[in-house]
Amino acid sequence: MGSPEQSLLAQFEARRFKDNLFQSPRDYEAQGKWTQEQVEKLGAAVHLFLSSTERAPADGPGESAGVDPLYGDILDPEFIDDEGEYDKRKFNLRCIVEHSPSKQLLLRYGIEEERDVIFHFPYQKLVDEGIVTTRRFRGVDIGDLIEWDGTWYIVLSTHREAYFGQTVSNYFTSTSCKRYRANSVPTGATHEEHC
């Protein structure tokens, strides 16, 4: 058996500079496309409503009342169909849903049903839809509303997930949500009057 012309380390270094590593940008893009295809085939259809919050209130006649300082609810969330304002649009997307069976609790004023859900949105799809901005760097933000399976959910926390190798490139934006009842806090005023 003949000896190789180069050492094994030299062969790996030569391949590394030819962009043949398993962690090249080309491999990240390919895996991202496979991830999106899987979500399109197996994921659940949801409606994502990017709502106005205290950090990004809606201006003009449709001004949102902001965030209730006591309960943290979004008061009278407004959704504006304006193509120029991405933060006020509605989106029909597909995502992977992770949930557990709901629990029914007997409370003082009736029966409460807890539903904790995690929605995993493909990050590249959020970028393609124009949802990711400098202010919304994850795409989905706290206070956004999601409608799935005939029930409304409010985003409590959001984070990037499923990173590619040892890089800063992620495949998913995951949102932890709980069941939301629209206008559960009575309001007829704007945010300034609540503070």
Q: Is residue 128 part of a domain?
A: yes
Residue 4 lies in a domain: no
Residue 16 lies in a domain: no
**146 assigned to some structural domain:** yes
Region of residue 5 (left: phi > 0; alpha: psi -120 to 50; beta: else):
alpha
**What letters, b where the CB count within 10 A reaches 16 and e where it falls short, cover 131-151?**
bbeeebebbbbbbbbbbbeee
Number of domains in the chain: 1
Indicate whether 7 belongs to any domain.
no
Q: Is residue 134 part of a domain?
A: yes
47 vs 71 pLDDT, higher one: 47
DSSP single-letter state for residue 20: -
Give domain status of residue 17, yes or no.
Answer: no
Q: How confident is the model at residue 98 (pLDDT cuts 50, 70, 90)?
A: very high
Residue 130 lies in a domain: yes
Query: In this structure, what token pair is assigned to residue 55?
Result: 């950090």
pLDDT tens digits, one per residue of 133-170? 887 788 898 888 899 988 889 898 999 998 887 778 89
Domain of residue 138: give its range. Answer: 22-194
